[in-house]
Structure 1
Amino acid sequence: MTKQLLVTDAGFFPHAHRHECERPEGAREHIFLICTAGSGHVHTPAGRTNITKGDAVLLPAGLPHEYRADQDDPWTLWWFHTVGPDADELFASAISIIDGYVAHLRDTAAIAALTAQVIEALDTSTNGGLVRASGAAWHVLTHVISAGKRPTSDSIDAVDMALEHLQRISPERVSVEELAALAELSPSQFSALFKQRVGVPPLRYQNDLRLARARELLATTEIPIAEIATHCGYDDPLYFSRQFARTHGHSPSSYRSRFQ
């Protein structure tokens, strides 16, 4: 099952001070990076591009490249390497759609969550883990392709406005009716367009945003789990722990120990 798309390496670099990599001949695998904090830059034959929070980088196999974290505000990166015929096609499609090697994404929560799943699945060192890692990586790349497509209607532009609003006010909860009013659509129209564009319903997306922030805090800080729950919009730490474990297959404390 993994001969079409196999994840060979994956990882997470929080606040990666002095992180840099130079491959004059490129890599043997396709490389995907997503920045969730800080900044840096990537240099390819197309030139230099500054990378900030929310940017995804796609480096196809054999492409000469160099990338480096910013000295004063080093990036936090989630990444994986992949090979196979499906990986070839997905990278080629994504690069064609975004017209380059860097995608400036409005929505990073879902993609960062999937990349975390790639890392966790690969970490199991089992055949089942390899299959799960490949599936999550395939999902990451299709998300980038979908997000990179230009809106084709005012309604989809309205969904983009709703996404920006949710990211700005997270972890506050907003009803579907409120979001639909913001987009000037009926709740049913908005929900259908939102799921078509983002891949999940509006309430699920809001939960993904909150859990994405929780993962970042668990992996990069020593803040107590009860405080992280409150910071991410959960009044009950036990409910937060159950939601986190149901989504990730690990308790918050177990997740923290794996990444730290």
Structure 2
Amino acid sequence: MQEFPHEYAQHHYLNPNDFIKMSGLWCIRVGHNVAKSNYQVGPKRIECYSLHFVVEGQLLLQSENGEAILQPNDLCCFFPDESYSYRIYDQKETLKLIWIAFQGPQALTLLHSLGLTQTTPVLRARCSREVWTKLYAFLQFISDQPDEAEDIGFSTELQEQLYGIFAVLMKGGKTISDEKTSNVDDLPWLKRSLDFMQLHALEGISIKEVAEEAGVHRSYFSDIFKKRIGVSPNRYLYRLKMEKAAASISLKDRTITEVAYSVGYPSLYSFSRAFRNYYGYSPENMP
């Protein structure tokens, strides 16, 4: 990686040839970084689409549609001619990102199939182990052959890998939790705790209470939970609340205030803020 004023980063700039532009999608930039504590980009606009994946740390995204805090395994999309800025959220944590910028007539259709639009530019917990494997293989492939962008063989392989990344992202919208909860049968206490959290997430339960229900020490519970499920117990509870809230709002038979109290928030303001941080838009503007 090369050192810059606000990051350590590796950038690759591609020059798609005529053969590539006969297809529906082509990559024009790719890279990854380790952010410094002063990391900030924008406000700016770009001419293409760009997916940013959060490897570690937290990223504060600000756009014309509001702001959102991205966590590890989240991703966001920047759309052409949309104003945005982003920066490190917690300077005490290391922030690492991977990005892929691309163009092509199929780009918008592929993004919409993932649920990404100008008004909903964030996907939560979408990066499974398979996604990370594909991303790092993509980076390595380009890094190993930086001068081959005009070669048809390289271009064909590049296209295959780029489509492969979209394919694993589309795989049923499977989240880290979905992927890993199927592998907890060897730890009955962990499976019990997941069931307990699903059942009582809206009742203000604490992680201490969940650990006691599981019959293990809280610190051990949190450590194993994060390793197996991919997120902390607190983050998992937060996700459950937001998913249940979104499901309730979609029924359109209750007010936002009713939903806020139903999922355990003391006020409409605190709920709206939490909802916006999770989904990237307010509960009133939910599609």
- What interval of TM-score do these two structures reach, taking the shorter chain for normalisation? 0.5 to 0.7
After superposition, residues 141-152 of structure 1 pair within 5 angstroms as: 141-148=166-173
Equivalent residue for 2:122? 102
Matched, 1:47 2:66: yes
Give CA-to-partner distance per residue, 1:104-126, whole Å, 9 cap, x none: 12543221221222222223131
Equivalent residue for 1:132? 157
| 2:65/2:119 contact within 8 Å kept | no
In 2, Cα distance between equivalents of 1:97 and 1:27: 16
| 1:111/1:143 contact within 8 Å kept | yes
> Which of 7, 10, 20 is equivalent to 1:2?
20
Matched, 1:161 2:181: yes
Matched, 1:75 2:95: yes
Give CA-to-partner distance per residue, 1:136-164, whole Å, 9 cap, x none: 222222322335379xxxxxx9755226x
Matched, 1:19 2:64: no
| 1:35/1:54 contact within 8 Å kept | yes
> How many residues end up aligned between the 2 structures?
163
| 1:11/1:78 contact within 8 Å kept | yes
Match of 2:32, as an amino acid? Answer: F
**Unmatched segments (≥5 aa) in structure 1:** 151-156, 166-176, 184-208, 210-260
Q: SS state of the match for residue 41, structure 1? A: strand
Q: SS state of the match for residue 106, structure 2? A: helix
Distance 1:98-1:117 versus aligned 2 partners, 3 A rule: farther
In 2, Cα distance between equivalents of 1:29 and 1:75: 24
In 1, Cα distance between equivalents of 2:40 and 2:117: 27
Matched, 1:63 2:65: no
The answer to which structure has the higher helix fraction is: 1
Give CA-to-partner distance per residue, 1:141-188, whole Å, 9 cap, x none: 2322335379xxxxxx9755226x5xxxxxxxxxxx959xx99xxxxx
Q: SS state of the match for residue 123, structure 2? A: strand
Greater radius of gyration (CA): 2
**Normalization by structure 2: what TM-score?**
0.49
Q: SS state of the match for residue 85, structure 1? A: coil
Give CA-to-partner distance per residue, 1:38-89, whole Å, 9 cap, x none: 1121112221000111111122222221111232224111111111112222
Distance 1:91-1:143 versus aligned 2 partners, 3 A rule: same
Q: Which range moved further: 106-115 or 60-69?
A: 106-115
After superposition, residues 24-43 of structure 1 pair within 5 angstroms as: 24=44, 26-43=45-62
Distance 1:142-1:62 versus aligned 2 partners, 3 A rule: farther
In 1, Cα distance between equivalents of 2:68 and 2:59: 9
| 1:79/1:115 contact within 8 Å kept | no
State the identity as a percent: 14
Q: SS state of the match for residue 14, structure 1? A: strand
**Unmatched segments (≥5 aa) in structure 2:** 1-18, 192-226, 228-287
In 2, Cα distance between equivalents of 1:86 and 1:21: 27
Q: SS state of the match for residue 91, structure 1? A: helix
**Normalization by structure 1: what TM-score?**
0.53
1:98, distance to aligned residue in structure 2 (A)? 11
| 1:69/1:75 contact within 8 Å kept | yes
Q: SS state of the match for residue 115, structure 2? A: helix
In 2, Cα distance between equivalents of 1:58 and 1:148: 16
In 2, Cα distance between equivalents of 1:27 and 1:98: 13
